[in-house]
């Protein structure tokens, strides 16, 4: 009887191991920290810098499938006040239009490539709760370079080039 129970336990443990998520069995290609090198609006057209002449940003993908992304224009003028909540309408508009931060969870497919993300929080509240998939993003990794292509709801296309931080 004891042997039968031990066999059943081992059988159940083997079944659970076989059902483990594929993400744990493949090399996650995006995990790590990435620095924004460039961000262009309409890359096939006007090639306007999306975050100014000196874009600054980091994208971090954690092994436990969370991410945080912060994109800024290094040339956004400082506020006259040192109190963040006391910016003028112009100061607030410039800061909002030329930067964004958001975070959430992400997934990779069976080959370890990015397959989508869910936004849990954002400086742009309209993104909270949104889910984006690889087909919408076109996030491709080639060694220590990553290209993120996406389209805003208004149709504007953006390409961001990232470099892995070592």
What confidence score (pLDDT) does residue 44 get?
Answer: 66
What confidence score (pLDDT) does residue 43 get?
Answer: 63
Q: Whole-angstrom Cα distance, residue 158 to residue 146?
A: 14
Domains assigned to the chain: 22-164 (2.40.128)
pTM for the whole structure: 0.79
| Higher-scoring residue by pLDDT: 72, 134 | 72
- Of 160, 129, 140, whose CA–CA distance to 57 is shortest? 160
Q: Nearest 5°: phi and psi at 116?
A: 165, 170
What confidence score (pLDDT) does residue 155 get?
Answer: 81
Give 31-49 pLDDT, tens digit per residue: 999 999 999 988 667 788 8
| Higher-scoring residue by pLDDT: 27, 121 | 121
Q: What is the pLDDT averaged over residues 17-26?
A: 49
DSSP assignment letter at 9: H
Lowest mean pLDDT among 17-21, 67-71, 136-140: 17-21
What confidence score (pLDDT) does residue 20 get?
Answer: 46
């Amino acid at each position: 009887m004891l042997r039968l129970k031990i066999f059943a336990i081992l059988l159940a443990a083997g079944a659970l191991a076989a059902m483990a998520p594929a993400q744990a069995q493949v090399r996650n290609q995006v995990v790590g920290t990435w620095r924004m090198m460039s961000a262009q609006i309409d890359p096939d057209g006007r090639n306007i810098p999306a975050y100014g002449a000196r874009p600054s940003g980091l994208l971090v993908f954690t092994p436990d499938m969370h991410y945080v992304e912060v994109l800024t224009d290094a040339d956004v003028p400082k506020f006259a006040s040192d109190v963040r909540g006391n910016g003028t309408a112009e100061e607030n508009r410039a800061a909002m239009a030329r930067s964004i931060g958001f975070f959430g969870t992400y997934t990779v497919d069976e080959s370890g490539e990015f397959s989508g993300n869910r936004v849990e929080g954002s400086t742009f509240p309209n993104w909270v709760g949104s889910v984006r998939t690889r087909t919408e993003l076109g996030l491709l990794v080639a060694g220590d370079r990553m290209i993120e292509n996406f389209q805003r709801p208004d149709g504007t296309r953006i390409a961001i080039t990232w470099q892995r931080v070592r």
